[in-house]
Amino acid sequence: MTEKEVIEIANVALAEEFELEMEQMVPEARFNDDLGLDSLDAVDMVVVLEQAFGFKLRDNQALREIRTLDDLHKYILRKKSELEG
């Protein structure tokens, strides 16, 4: 899976689950201010992405530091390379 595919899968999964427009899914989009996702959504987001990618993403400390879509993409790519590592 390429970096581009990872980003595409993540964006599509989130847009579908949280009823967001694909135009909103830009790297600099902030979860709270730009996408309107709340703290409960953050928990759901992890579950939705785990289902989309088929691996665990739970790491509370790292997740707390995610602010933008770009942060999330980088986090998923890091997790993926750790697993492949």
Partner 1 sequence: MEFLRPFGRVRKEGLQKERVPTPCVFVANHLSFFDVYCMGTLPVTNFSIVVRAWPFKMWFYAPFMRAAKYLNSEQLDQEEFMAQCRDVFDRGGSVLFFPEGHRSRDGELGRFYSGAFKVALDNDVPVVPLAISGTDKLLPRGQWVMRPAEVVVEGLEPVYPRQFMHEDVPHLAMRKYVKQAIAAARKRR
The site for partner 1 (CB under 8 A) is made up of 17-20, 36, 38-41, 44, 47-48, 51
Q: How far is the CB of 64 from partner 1 (least distance, A)?
A: 14
Identify residue 51 by its one-letter amino acid code: Q
Nearer residue to partner 1 within complex by CB, 3 or 51: 51
Taking the C-alpha atoms of residue 20 and residue 65, their distance in angstroms, rounded to an integer, is: 22
Q: How far is the CB of 49 from partner 1 (least distance, A)?
A: 12
Distances (CA, A) of 43 to 3, 49, 58, 81, 85: 24, 10, 9, 23, 26
Q: How far is the CB of 18 from partner 1 (least distance, A)?
A: 7
